[in-house]
Amino acid sequence: MTATRLPNDLFPPVFLAPMAGITDLPYRTLVARFGAGLVVSEMVASQELLSRRPGTREKAELGLGVEGTAVQIAGREAAPMAEAARMIAGQGARIIDINMGCPAKKVTQGASGSALMKTPDHALRLIEAVVAAVDVPVTLKTRLGWDDEMLNAADIARRAEAAGICMITIHGRTRCQFYKGRANWRAIRRVKDAVEIPVIANGDITSPRAARRALDHSGADGVMIGRGAQGRPWLLAQVSHALYGTPEPRVPHGKGFADMVEEHYEAMLGFYGTELGARVARKHLGWYMDTAGTPAELRRAVLTGATPGRTVKLLREAMTADRALVAA
């Protein structure tokens, strides 16, 4: 089967990883503003998607119709996966990504995510169904394997390519590693050697230097950055500048950093509503304060602010203090 080609404008090949509860619309927008070749939505279960049928906010959350955005879906049955893919493609999704890498127990116990690596024949039926259902590019994100005894990413990648997948991202750990230890970038090379489609390296890419080493070790065509960008939405643009010569981002410091954090916070309140938005924002605010080196007492005050106004006032103090030197 011939794969639908990826858009030519997915450059630089430095992509934002899908992260549940993190890569929502406000955060993707912020990262994209600094610069990213592609941003990926939070994973959405195909059955859940079909049951709630995206409304206006959900369409924005998924990034339907937004250039440079992929929508990631997960599931364990071919028919719902295909129907979900068909629905979101019909509503404007530019790229659909299939999740075969999530290690969370609530996902793998439902035979989804990285659990599909244990049943590659079944996984291929899902892939074939999704590819056949849509005319947009379909990509795949997976891990090296289920555990050290089942390192089958290269075989799955080869079969996925034959089924029409046009790009594969490999997190350099097994499912049973979760996020422990170090990502094995060298092991990704086996996948790169097995296929002709682009291969993207993921895992522990926290700096331009790490990104360069990941490419050298893996032979991959690009990198995907997840946790390394928490509290540093400019990181992808820094990596792109170092590796591909794109414009160097202006990393915010002092008042500029405070302005960026406040803008992100207010965007979350506006998107989710005040009560939910304040809860969703806490993890981001914590990461920003980690970056700024905020003292524990002030950090607690920010995260327990009684009102958004109080939180913003404390954020300003936390972000603009002399010690708030942003790590580039």
Answer yes or no: are the C-beta atoms of 204 and 182 closer than 8 Å: yes
Among the three residues 223, 244, 265, which one is the final residue of a domain in this structure? 244
Tell whether 204 and 119 lie within a shared domain: yes
- Whether residues 104 and 183 share a domain: the answer is yes
Residue 3 lies in a domain: no
- 275 in any annotated domain: yes
Which bin fits 96, alpha (ψ -120 to 50), beta or left (φ > 0)? beta
Q: Are strands 38-40 and 69-74 parallel, antiparallel or unpaired?
A: parallel
Same domain? 238 vs 260: no
DSSP assignment of 18-42: P-TTTS-HHHHHHHHHH--SEEEPP
On whether both 179 and 286 belong to a single domain, the answer is no
Q: Is the pLDDT of residue 90 over 80?
A: yes
Query: For residue 237, is it within any domain?
Result: yes
Q: How many CB atoms lie within 10 A of CB 328?
A: 12
Beta-strand runs (E) in 2-113: 14-16, 38-40, 44-45, 69-74, 95-100
* Residue finishing a domain among 244, 268, 300: 244
CA atoms within 13 A on the CB side of 108: 17
Position 205 in a domain: yes
Domain's final residue, options 244, 264, 293 = 244
Catalytic positions, written as ranges: 102
Query: Is 42 within the bounds of a domain?
Result: yes
Q: Number of folded domains in the chain? A: 2
pLDDT higher than threshold 90 for residue 321: no
Decide if 14 contacts 34 (C-beta within 8 A): no
Question: Considering the domain boundaries, does residue 45 fall inside one?
Answer: yes
What is the sign of the dihedral through the CA atoms of 142, 245, 284 and 63?
A: negative
For 29-67, letters b (16+ CB in 10 Å) and e give bbbbebbbbbbbbbbbbbbebeeeebeeeebbbbbbebe
Is there a domain that residue 9 lies in? no
pLDDT at residue 119, as a whole number: 95
Within-domain flag for 168: yes
Contact 269, 278 (CB under 8 A): yes
Residue 69, domain extent: 14-244
pTM of the model: 0.93
pLDDT digits (tens, 9 = 90+) for 233-273: 999 999 999 999 999 999 998 889 999 999 999 999 999 99
Question: What is the average pLDDT across 103-131?
Answer: 92
The CATH number that applies at residue 224 is 3.20.20.70
